[in-house]
Chain A
Amino acid sequence: MNMQSKKPITAAEQLLVDSFVHNLGNLPGDGAVLTIRDSYIEDIKQRGLPTRRVEAWHYTDLRNLLKTVPSIGKSADIEPAERLIAGANVISVVDGHAANIAATGGVTATAYREDLSDGSAAARMALRNSDDLVGRINGAFVTDGVKLQVEDDLVLDNPLEIQVLHGGGQAHTRFPVTIGKGVKGLFVERHISCCEEDALVSSITDLDVGDGADIVWVINQEQGLSDTHLGQINIKLGADAKLLLFVANAGGKLVRQEIHIVASGEGSELTLRGVNLLGGESHTDVTMTLEHIVPNCVSGQIFRNVVLDRAKGVFQGQIKVAQIAQKTDAKMACNTLLLSDFCDFSAKPELEIFADDVQCGHGATVTDIDKNQLFYLKARGIGEKRARSLLVKAFIVEVVEELDNEVLIEALEKQFETWLNNHG
C-alpha cells in the first residue's frame, strides 16, 4: 500500500537528537560547520531514520534495526592494538580523537579537528545525496580524525596502519586522504572495539588516488558483537591509477559499510575484493556504487560472504557507466554461502549502462556448500565437519590470496580462521 503518513519519532531517533543537544558544546567547528551539523540533526528529526521504502536502504530498515543509541562516553585509556602487519607505521584514533599521528617521511598527518575548527571541512561535509544517512550522522557528530597527505612519487617501504579504536559509547571520525601522483604503498584501515560495551561508530574515509598511483587499501572492520558500525569510503581514481581495495567485515551487530567509487581518470584500474563473515544475530549491509565517467577504465569486483547462525547479510552493488565512458570493462560478482537454516542473504547487483561499446556484467549466487566438493573430500577420508570447514576456508582464501603481500595474506587468513573457529 502506498499510504503515507508522518511516523512518530523512535527511541533511537530521539536518543540521537538528545545526544547531539547534550554534546553540542564539545563538537568542534566554526559557524559554517555548526550550521551544517544543525541541519543534519534537523533532517534526522524531520525524516527519521531510513526504512525499507528508501531504495538505498531497502534491505536495512534502520528505523527498525537501530533500537538504541549509547551516550557519548568519556575517552578511556586505550592502548593501540597489535599491528596487523609487523613493521607497519601506526596512526591511531581513540574514541573519536586523534591519539597518535606521528608522521613518517613523505606522509603528512594532521588532526581533522583542525579542519572542523577553521571551517575548511565544511565543503567536505556535503551529503552524497538525500538518502546519505551515514554522511548525515557523521556530519552531525564528527569530532576528529586524521587528514593524510602522501607526497608525489613516494614509495612506502612499510605499510601505514590506521587504527580506529573505541571503548564503547559513540565515536565519529573522518579521514580525508590524498594520495599523490605515482605513489606506491599499502594502507590498512582498521576499526577495532576494545571493550564489550555497546558502541555507535561512524567513520568516513575520503580517498583521493592521484594519477599513476598504485596502492592497496585494506578496510578491516573488527567491531564488537554489540556494536553498530556505519562506515563509508568515498574514492576518486586518477588517470592510470591502480587501486586494490580489500574490504573485510568480521564483526559488529549492525553494520552498514558503504563503498563509493568514481573512476574519474582515464585508464584507471580498480580491483575490489570483499570478505564478509556474518554470524550470531548480526545484520551486515555492504553497499557499493561505482561510477565510470571516463572511457577506458577497468574494474573488477568479487565479494565472498559466509553467513551463519541467525545472521542477515545484504549486498547492494551498482555499476553506472556514463554515455561517454566507452570501452569500460566492469565486472561484479557476489557469491554467498548460506550455512544455517536461519540466516538469510539478499543481493541487489545493479547495472546502469548508457554507453554501447562496453563489457559489463554481474553475477550473484546464493547457495550451500557444493555437495560434489564435499563428497570428494569425504571420499578421501576427511570427516564432514573438517571437510566443510576446509571448503569454507577455500571459498574465502581465493579472494584473499589476490592481495599479493604474503604478510598481509597471512594476517588476514589467521584472522578469518579464528573467526570461523569461534563460530563453529
Chain B
Amino acid sequence: MPAVQETIDQVRQIDVDQYKYGFETHVEMDKAPKGLNEDIIRFISAKKNEPEWMLEWRIDAYRRWLTMEAPDWARVDYPEIDFNDIVYYAAPKSQTGPMTLDEVDPELLATYAKLGIPLREQEILAGVQQSKVAVDAVFDSVSVVTTFKAELAKAGVIFMAISEAIQEYPELVRKYLATVVPVSDNYYSALNCAVFTDGSFVYIPKGVRCPMELSTYFRINEKDTGQFERTLIICEEGGYVSYLEGCTAPQRDENQLHAAVVELIALDDAEIKYSTVQNWYPGDKDGKGGIYNFVTKRGDCRGDNSKISWTQVETGSAITWKYPSCILRGDNSRGEFYSIAVSNGRQQIDSGTKMIHLGKNTSSRIISKGISAGHSNNTYRGQVSAHRRATGARNFTQCDSLLIGNNCGAHTVPYIEAKNSTAQFEHEATTSKISEDHLFYCMQRGIPEEEAIALIVNGFVKEVIQELPMEFAVEAQKLIGISLEGSVG
C-alpha cells in the first residue's frame, strides 16, 4: 500500500530543508589546533585537569585505535574521514569550568533559550504544565551548566558533567568507566576513549528513585570540530532513573563528526530508562553537510531483576550508525528498545539494537519503526542472541518500515541466534501481525482498515513518546501522527 497524503505531509514538515536549529552562536572560543596525536590528547587531559591515570588511559586507547580499521559492514556510504582535519577541543573562552548560571555567558544562555531548553530553574518551575527536568547543557567540548544539582544531591543523586565527576568521584568513575563498552570494542569507541571531552555522569544510590527527569542537551556549534561525548549512568540496587538526551547543530556545508559512547549499568532491581531525540543537522537536500553520528550505546543489566529501556526518535544526522544494546546478565533482567527512525533527503540510517541474553529467564522486546523518504536509506540491523545457559530467554521483535516515494530504500537485517532450547524468539516484520482482534474491534466500529492500523500502531508509539519530557516532545509529536499503514518490513 502506498502512503496516504497525511503521512506524506507530516514527513515533509520535518524534511531536511526545514531544519530549525541551523543557526550559529558567535562567542569567543578556546580551541585546540586541528589534528589528532598524543599531544592533543595531553592537551585535552590538561584542559580538563585530569588525574594521571586518566591521561594514561586515554593514551592507551589512542594507541589501540591506531591499530584498528573503520568498520565497513554498515549500509552507509561516505568518503573516508580525515581524522587530522578535526578540532578535538573547542570551548567558549568564558567557560573555564562548570559554573553557576549567573556566571555563564549570556550569549550561551540565549542559545539554549532559542533552542527551547530552559536552564533557569525558576523559569522551569514557572511553566505550569512542564514537569521538572534537570539539564546538563553541553556546548561543543564543555558542559556549560547543570541545573538542579543541589536538589538532586539532597536525594543522594549525583548528576554532573563527566569531567567534573572524574575530579570529584574518581573511584566511582574508575570502577565503572569502560566496563560496558570496552576501550577497543570498536573503532569509534576507542577514538572516543582517547579524545572524549564531556558528557554526563549520573549515579543513583541504592533504593533511590530519582526525583526528576535528568537530561543532557548536546550542541555542536564551532566549525570543524568533532564532538566526543561520554555518558556514564550507574543505577544502584533498587534505584530508578529516567534520562533523556537531545542534540542539534548549526547548518554547514562540511560534515562534522559526533562519536559518542554511552554506558548504562543497572544493578539488582534497578531500572534505567534512556530516551533520545536525535536531531543533528541532517545536511541539505543534495546531501551536502550534516553530522556523522557514529555512536556506541550499551546498557548492562548487571543485577538480577534489572531493566534497561532505550527509546529513540531519530530524525537528524547525515549518517546514523547507532545500536543501543542491552546485555541481559542478571537473572530475570529485561531489555527494551523502541525506535522511530525517519530518514529524508540523502540521509543514511543504519541503526538497531543488540539483545544479548546471558542470565536465566531474561526477556527483551524490540519495536522498530523506520520511515524513509526522499533519496534516503533506512536500515534496521539487530541482533538477538541467547547463550547456552540463558534458559527461558524470551524475545519479541517487530520491525516495520514505510517507504514514501520511489527513490528511497528500507532494509531489515536481523541476526537471531539461539543456543538454548528453552529460548523463545519471535521476529516479525509484517503489518499482518498487528493483533487481528484489535483490528477487528476498530473496523467493527466503522474505522477503515488503513486508519485502524495507523491508530493501533500510533497508540503504541504514543505511549513511548509521551514519556519524553516536554521540550523534546515538540519534535517527537510531529511524528506521532505519522501513520504506518502499508508498512513493509
Q: Which of A345, A356, A367 has the most CB of B within 10 A?
A: A356
Residues on the A chain within 8 Å of B95, using CB:
none
Q: Which residues of A contact B433 (CB under 8 A)?
A: 363
Q: How far is the CB of A355 from chain B (nearest CB, A)?
A: 7
B456 within 8 A of A: no
Q: How far is the CB of B234 from chain A (nearest CB, A)?
A: 27
Does chain B have a CB within 8 A of A366? yes
Task: With A367-B423, A368-B421 as known contacts, state yes or no: A361 contacts B414, CB within 8 Å.
Answer: no
Q: Which B residue's beta carbon lies closest to that of A342?
A: B388
A360 touches B427 (CB 8 A): no
**Residue on B with the closest CB to A356?**
B403
Which of B1, B418, B419 has the largest number of chain A CB atoms within 10 A?
B418
Q: For the complex, what is the distance from the CA of A58 to the CA of B413, rounded to whole Å? A: 13
Question: Nearest residue in A to B413 (C-beta to C-beta)?
Answer: A350
Question: Which among A1-9, A135-143, A156-164 touches the partner chain?
Answer: A1-9
In the complex, what's the smallest C-beta–C-beta distance from B186 to chain A, in angstroms?
Answer: 8
State whether B421 touches A351 (Cβ < 8 A). no
Which residues between 335 and 353 of chain A lie within 8 Å of chain B, taking CB atoms? Answer: 336, 338-353
For chain B, residues 408 to 428, give those with C-beta under 8 angstroms from any C-beta of chain A: 408-428
Interface residues on chain A, number (Cβ under 8 Å): 41
Q: Is B464 an interface residue (CB 8 A)?
A: no
How far does the alpha carbon of A341 sit from the alpha carbon of B390 in the complex, in Å? 11
Per-position binary interface string of chain B over residues 245-268, scored 1 when its CB falls under 8 Å from any chain A CB and 0 otherwise: 000000000000000000000000
B406 within 8 Å of A (CB atoms): yes
Residues in B with CB closer than 8 Å to A344 are 388, 417-420
A69 within 8 A of B: no
Contact of A363 among B186, B388, B422, B430 (CB under 8 A): B430
Residue A358 CB within 8 A of the other chain: yes
CB < 8 Å A-B pair total: 134
CA gap between A364 and B67 in the complex, in Å: 38
B406, A352: Cβ atoms closer than 8 Å = no
- In the bound complex, CA of A241 to CA of B417 (Å): 35
Instruction: Decide if B2 is an interface residue (CB 8 Å cutoff).
Output: yes
- Nearest CB in chain A: distance from B61 CB, A: 13
User: Of B68-76, B98-106, B123-131, B316-324, which stretch is located at the interface?
Assistant: B68-76
- Scoring B residues 1 to 41 as 1 if CB is less than 8 Å from chain A, else 0, what string do you get? 11100000000000000000000000000000000000000
Q: Known contacts being A338-B423, A367-B425, is A348 close to B430, with CB within 8 Å? A: no
CB <8 Å contact, A366 and B403: no
Question: Would B187 and A366 count as touching, CB distance under 8 A?
Answer: no
Interface centre among A1, A58, A340, A342 (most CB of B within 10 A): A1
Which of B68, B69, B424, B429 is A351 in contact with, Cβ under 8 Å?
A: B429
- A362 and B2 contacting across the interface, CB-CB below 8 Å: no
What residues on B are CB-neighbors of A359 within 8 Å? 1, 488
Contacts of B411 in A (CB 8 A): 350-353
Residues from chain B with a CB closer than 8 A to the CB of A349 are 412, 414, 416, 427, 429
CB distance A1 to B428 under 8 Å? no
Given A345-B418, A362-B412, A364-B416, A2 and B71 touching (CB < 8 A)?
yes
Do the beta carbons of A3 and B3 come within 8 Å of each other? no
Q: Does B192 make an interface contact (CB < 8 A)?
A: no
Query: Cβ of A376 < 8 Å from any Cβ of B?
Result: no
A340 touches B421 (CB 8 A): yes
> Is A415 engaged at the interface, CB distance under 8 Å to the other chain?
no
Q: Select A354's contact among B71, B409, B432, beta carbons within 8 Å.
A: B409
Which of B68, B184, B412, B428 is packed against the most chain A CB atoms within 10 Å? B412
- Per-residue CB contact flags for chain B residues 420-448 toward chain A (1 = under 8 Å, else 0) read 11111111111111000000000000000
Min CB gap B210→A, angstroms: 37
In the complex, what residue of chain A is closest to B425 when comparing beta carbons?
Answer: A366
Distance in angstroms from B432 CB to nearest chain A CB is 7
CB-defined contacts of B186 to chain A, threshold 8 Å: 2
Task: Tell whether A357 pairs with B1 under 8 Å between CB atoms, given A341-B421, A348-B416, A367-B423.
Answer: yes
C-alpha spacing A10/B38, complex, angstroms: 40
B2 and A357 form a contact (CB under 8 A): yes
Flag if B421 contacts A338 (CB, 8 Å): yes
Closest to B378 in A: A353
Closest Cβ–Cβ distance, residue A348 to chain B (whole Å): 5
Seen from chain A, the residues whose Cβ lies within 8 Å of a Cβ on chain B are: 1-4, 55, 58-59, 323, 331, 336, 338-368
List the 8 closest A-B pairs by CB distance, nearest first.
Answer: A361-B430, A356-B403, A344-B419, A2-B69, A338-B421, A366-B418, A347-B416, A364-B427
